Structure 1
């Protein structure tokens, strides 16, 4: 949702997305309340895929993902490919991969690392936005 909002609006100065599904074509047999397959509704899958709209993201985005995410819709590949697309297009993006973490982060070190990353991101790109540019 964060990545989609950044791609389709100018409501936010920056974004933080965790364990996301950025390319809905990688979940071709439905997602959330969408029950049609990709082949039945390609326009929905493309519109709902931040990856397909990466060129529209003009705000900084922090991506966080567990390296051992075994959720079928949010494999780590989702964040890695989206990050590469954003960087290739010149966007301001950072990817943080959490070792040995699945979809929900449980290790104390990981939780503290996520909190620190989020705090630093918001300090730089929201609170002190004008001084960072």
Structure 2
């Protein structure tokens, strides 16, 4: 699992992006909104298949804290108060590797339920 652990984790609060760097040179820039709507918490994922809760209105969410969890994960604390997801190294890497497909699937789900995603605040002003 050592190749799954990031060598660097950097939060860019102004742009609301968590940047992960890996030993092999890979870098992922994961928006806070993306991390929030794909939180591994039971609140978001449910307790079993079909119990997922579609997250909406997270366009302006930011990360206000990053806490280590042993040697295997981090806990992200979001500006909307959400703080129950434990992002293990494997899950974080998978979020980076599959970002485009995950994000498109999320946008498709929003469209299916008729939710119109707002542009983030900096794009609305």
TM-score (norm 1): 0.25
Greater gyration radius: 1
Point out the structure with the larger strand share: 2
TM-score (norm 2): 0.26
Higher relative contact order (CA 8 A, sep 6+): 1
